[in-house]
Amino acid sequence: MELKILEKKKGRLVFELANANHTLCNALRDELWNDKQVTVATYAVRHPLTSTPRFILETAGEPMKALQEASKRLQKKNKELEKAFAGL
């Protein structure tokens, strides 16, 4: 998966996630909202067959740090889910 940064300013990050689907994008968006510094976390797909999801992230702090931390939390949740299913 490729992250392409389109805009990077203080408190704002606009990026695209190549080859991402709604499942991942929704999970990432929801996890970003768990950060109290996040003021905007949304994404859009212009056309479901030809477009790359485009995120807009705004924070009171550093948006790249918020994105990295959200990604780490998602990885941890994924490992917990994997362990839960391993016992079946």
- Can you give the C-alpha Rg of the chain in angstroms? 14
User: What percentage of the chain carries pLDDT values higher than 70?
Assistant: 100
Q: How many CB atoms lie within 10 A of CB 38?
A: 20
Burial class (CB in 10 A: 0-12, 13-18, 19+), 19: exposed
Mean pLDDT of the chain, nearest integer: 94
Q: Which CATH superfamily is domain 2-86 in?
A: RNA polymerase, RBP11-like subunit (3.30.1360.10)
Q: Residue 11's pLDDT band (boundaries 50, 70, 90)? A: very high
- Map out the domains of the chain as residue ranges: 2-86
Statement: residue 88 has pLDDT above 90: no
**Overall average pLDDT of the 15-37 stretch:** 95
* pLDDT value of residue 57: 98
DSSP string computed for 1-59:
-EEEEEEEETTEEEEEEET--HHHHHHHHHHHTTSTTEEEEEEE-S-TTT---EEEEEE
Write down the pLDDT at residue 51: 84
Q: Which of the two residues, 1 and 55, has the higher pLDDT score?
A: 55
The pLDDT of 55-77, averaged and rounded, is: 97
